[in-house]
Amino acid sequence: MFPLSSTMELTQATTLGLALVIGLGFGFFLEKAGFGSTRKLAAVFYFYDMAVVKVMFTAIVTAMVGIFILSSAGALDLAELYIEPSNYPAAIIGGIVFGVGFIVGGYCPGTSLAAAATGKIDGWVFIAGIFIGSYAYAEFLSGFDTWLAASATPDVTLSSLTGIPMGWFVLLFIGFLALAGWGMSLAEKKFAGLRP
């Protein structure tokens, strides 16, 4: 039954319309969570307000539980889901570079959009930066990109790596969320004095 993209013939207009609707929800909840505020995002790195991490972990666990339940019930075909091929050196190098950009610029791509949508000039400037960065990457690093694509392994998940069924990882992530939630509330108290 799911994903619809592999069980139904969707016209291009329908597909793009659905993208727009999903985007509406994405932007709405990002903004409601406070992701349009650069100081709320940066706060995570100084522990005095961990809301952004709480939102992110909760979103991951919510989607993971939904995917697990629906696939266990036979309503969702896991094999039809697109999983970005894994390339560990690229994930580590890209992650480090991205993390530096995140704390220096105060946003990530999705959150800069939420900031720009609520009038933050620094959000618009960050967006201009992402555009310059992705343009420069295509111009100067396309050879590197070809290597990256060639050396990535498709469909590597924790389950396929370890042979442990997805359900155990879902339980692990739920436990981790509960534990992290408790730890983050302690950290927020301890570092409350850092709030500018």
Partner 1 sequence: MSSITATSAPAGTATKRVPAPYWNPYLAGFGLGLVLLAAYLIAGRGLGATGAFSSVAAWLANLVSPENAQASAVHARYLESGSPATAWLVWLLIGSFIGAAVSGYMAGRTSLTIERGPSITDNQRLVLALVGGIIAGVGAKIARGCTSGQALTGAAVLNAGSLVFMGAVFVAGYAVAWLFARKEWL
Identify residues 12-51 at the interface with partner 1 (CB under 8 A).
12, 15-34, 36-40, 42-43, 45-46, 51
Q: How far is CA 49 from CA 4, 174, 177, in A?
A: 38, 21, 16
- Per the document, the length of the chain is 196
Question: Contact between 192 and partner 1 (CB under 8 A)?
Answer: no
DSSP, res 191: T
Q: How far is the CB of 45 from partner 1 (least distance, A)?
A: 4
**Which of 9, 72, 73, 121 is close enough to bind partner 1 by CB under 8 A?**
121
Site for partner 1 in 138-167 (CB under 8 A): 138-139, 141-146, 148, 152, 156-159, 161, 166
Q: Does 2 bind partner 1 (CB under 8 A)?
A: yes
Residue 6 · residue 75 · CB < 8 Å = no
For residue 35, the Cα-to-chain-centroid distance in whole angstroms is: 12
Distance between CA atoms of residues 28 and 114, nearest Å: 8
The distance of closest approach from Cβ of residue 74 to partner 1 in the complex, given in angstroms and rounded to an integer, is 14
Residue 167 burial (CB count, 10 A): 12
Q: How far is the CB of 190 from partner 1 (least distance, A)?
A: 15
The separation between the first and the last C-alpha atoms of the chain, rounded to the nearest angstrom, is 51
Q: How many residues bind partner 1 (CB under 8 A)?
A: 129
Binding to partner 1 (CB under 8 A) within 78-117 occurs at 78, 80-88, 90-117
Q: Tell me, what amino acid is at 70?
A: L
Q: Which of residues 52-81 bind partner 1 (CB under 8 A)?
A: 52, 54-64, 66-67, 70, 76, 78, 80-81
Shortest spacing between CB 135 and partner 1, in angstroms: 4
* Residue 66 identity (one-letter amino acid): G
